[in-house]
Amino acid sequence: MTLEHTRLALPGTSNLRDLGGLRTVDGRSVSAGVLYRSEAMVIGDSDTYAVYRPEARDALGSLGLRTVVDLRAERESVRAPSAWADVSGANLVTLPIAEGGEGADTNYMRMLLDGEIARFDADSMFEFYIRMLSRRSDVLGEAFRLLADPSNLPVLVHCAAGKDRTGVFVALVLSVLGVPREVVVEDYALTGILRPNRIDTYAHLFHDAGLDPEVGRGLFESPAEAMHSTLEHLDAEYGGVVGYLTGPCGLLDSDIDAVRENLLVS
């Protein structure tokens, strides 16, 4: 199947998606207009972020956002504040996850440019996600808990590219809702289709550091095998996503029940 129909064509963006309509294994569907995922959007000029365009105001307003969750590290969000909240008037919740992939200021980009790591590939991506799940369970749990309160909805979640931090979080949510694993993985991988050849945007940074940009190509991709391996890891370590959320993330069964109640329709 293809999930490209979930993309919303908002001027200035390439990775805004409404996760509504995805079917679950028990025959229900994710509610439309309740949970959105996207890349960051900023006001003003930017070579790396999506840029807000005034002609998008009405379409953005029609989303009816109440909450915007920014998962970027503080150094990222301070330098480029989220226009999603500024323009929509939604409540901005910053839940910083330092582990980031695509973006000039993310930690993995800095490690590549500083020579701390020699190359980033699909195996590196898997290790990156496992490290994020281990170190940021409190933040991921807090983001998940926001979905348990209907007064926060609709919610838009973003990081820099809407790929890694957002991708991992959304994979957790969709898994808990009962979306088939192959669809969860396809949703994650779709970012790579919607944002191809992103390394070209950052090639000058690699050249300035005396590096071939190809050593970092994997940082800008969303390989299905990385997410598949990540979910298998949660199966092996915690008995599945629910076990991870009720374990390291500290959620209650009632939190998970509430998220399902808020985000699913028969």
Can you read off the two tokens belonging to residue 15? Answer: 């990775």
Can you read off the two tokens belonging to residue 96? Answer: 């910083």
- What is the number of domains present in the chain? 1
CATH number of 212's domain: 3.90.190.10
SS3 (DSSP) at 262:
helix
Can you read off the two tokens belonging to residue 202? Answer: 């950052």
Which residues, listed in sequence order, are joined to residue 70 by a DSSP beta bridge? 94, 158
Nearest of 3, 4, 1, 87 to residue 40 by alpha carbon: 87
- Distance from CA of residue 255 to its chain's centroid? 21
Q: What is the pLDDT of residue 206?
A: 86
Q: What residue type is assigned to position 170 of the chain?
A: V
What is the arithmetic mean of pLDDT over 123-133? 91
71: left (phi over 0), alpha (psi -120 to 50) or beta: alpha
Q: Tell me the pLDDT tens digit for each residue of 164-222.
A: 999 999 999 999 999 999 999 999 999 988 877 777 878 888 899 888 888 888 888 89
Nearest of 27, 86, 25, 21 to residue 60 by alpha carbon: 86
Q: Give Cα separations from 22 to 3, 35, 91 (angstroms).
A: 9, 11, 26
Answer yes or no: is pLDDT of 130 > 90.
yes
Q: Tell me the pLDDT tens digit for each residue of 13-50.
A: 999 999 999 999 999 999 999 999 999 999 988 888 89
φ/ψ of 169, rounded to 5, equals -60, -45
Answer yes or no: is pLDDT of 90 > 60.
yes
pTM for this entry: 0.91
Domain that holds residue 225: 4-265
The angle subtended at Cα 152 by Cα 151 and Cα 158, nearest 5°, is 170
